[in-house]
């Protein structure tokens, strides 16, 4: 196994581009329980992918979409062309501090290694306005896929495509984002069944919301 963390992370980032280039739109299913945002909110989406979450934002919001994959951004552009699209690492945002009313981090934080996850949380806190909110979703350690693949760090697995996925518990998510400026507004685990070849499998996501003092 490659033990250099920077190279491992780079290989993982390249894997996203390859996946989008070969398979196109990747994320099916509906986005459930979207929060209500104040009219005219400036929203940042981290790891916007092919635009599934962007497509659900109200028309009066202005959105900035960040993704490490140029291929993903090309797909997301078609979904919501009036957004700003930036190819960047969510752990190192090329953005000014205190500018966003809301930040969505849906199924992105878990694709970073531990150092990257901490950096993403700090960056989200930095660019959020006081009074603004962070919305987090990622797979839980109860999810059917947790434990599949090679474990590269505790709770983080690399599957065949080269993509890394970390599986969270609620305490870990609360600790990751909470800081002297950021407080937890609510957290829970959302579970549902997925039927594959006649058998039910558990899907489980941690959903959390934070606000900046
Ligand atoms: C599972 S997809 C989720 C897409 C979207 N948020 C959704 O829920 O449909 C993860 C996305 O995060 C992006 N990504 C992974 N690591 C990233 C990083 N360090 N910075 C920015 N984007 C990243 C990938 O390119 C991919 O588009």
**Angstrom distance (rounded) from CA 63 to CA 50:** 14
Residues framing ligand 1 (Cβ under 6 A): 16, 27, 47-49, 52-53, 66-69, 72, 89-91, 106-108, 111-112
- pLDDT given at position 154: 98
Mean pLDDT of 61-84: 94
Q: Where are the domains of the chain?
A: 5-24+39-212
Which residue minimizes the CA distance to atom 13 of ligand 1?
A: 47
Instruction: Quick: pLDDT tens for 167-193.
Output: 999 999 999 999 989 999 999 999 999
More confident residue, 152 or 160: 152
Taking the centre of ligand 1 as the mean of its atom positions, its distance from the CA of residue 66, in whole angstroms, is: 8
Q: Give the whole-angstrom CA distance, residue 209 versus residue 213.
A: 13
Instruction: Report CA(47)–ligand 1 centroid distance (Å).
Output: 3
Distance from residue 151's CA to the centre of ligand 1 (Å): 20
- Measured in whole angstroms, the distance separating CA 170 from the mean position of its chain's CA atoms is 15
**pLDDT tens-digit profile of 29-44?**
778 889 999 999 999 9
The mean pLDDT value for 143-159 works out to 96
Q: What is the dihedral of CA 18, 24, 165, 120, to 10 degrees?
A: 90
Provide the CATH number for the domain formed by 5-24+39-212 in this structure.
3.40.50.150
* pLDDT at residue 116 in the model: 97
């Amino acid at each position: 196994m490659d033990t250099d963390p920077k190279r491992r992370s780079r290989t993982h980032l390249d894997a996203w581009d390859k996946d989008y280039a070969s398979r196109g739109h990747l994320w099916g299913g509906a986005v459930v329980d979207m929060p209500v945002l104040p009219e005219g909110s400036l929203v940042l989406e981290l790891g916007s992918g092919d635009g599934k979450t962007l497509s659900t934002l109200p028309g009066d919001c202005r959105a900035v979409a960040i993704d490490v994959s140029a291929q993903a951004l090309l797909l997301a552009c078609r979904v919501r062309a009036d957004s700003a699209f930036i190819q960047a690492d969510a752990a190192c945002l090329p953005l000014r501090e205190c500018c966003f009313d809301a930040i969505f981090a849906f199924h992105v934080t878990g694709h970073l290694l531990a150092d990257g996850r901490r950096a993403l949380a700090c960056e989200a806190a930095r660019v959020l306005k006081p009074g603004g909110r962070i919305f987090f979703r990622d797979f839980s350690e109860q999810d059917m896929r947790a434990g599949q693949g090679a474990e590269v760090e505790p709770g983080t697995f690399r599957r065949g495509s080269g993509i890394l996925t970390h599986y969270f518990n609620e305490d870990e998510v609360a600790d990751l984002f909470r800081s002297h400026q950021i407080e937890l507004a609510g957290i829970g685990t959302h579970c549902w069944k997925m039927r594959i070849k006649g058998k039910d499998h558990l899907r489980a996501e941690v959903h959390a919301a934070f606000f900046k003092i």
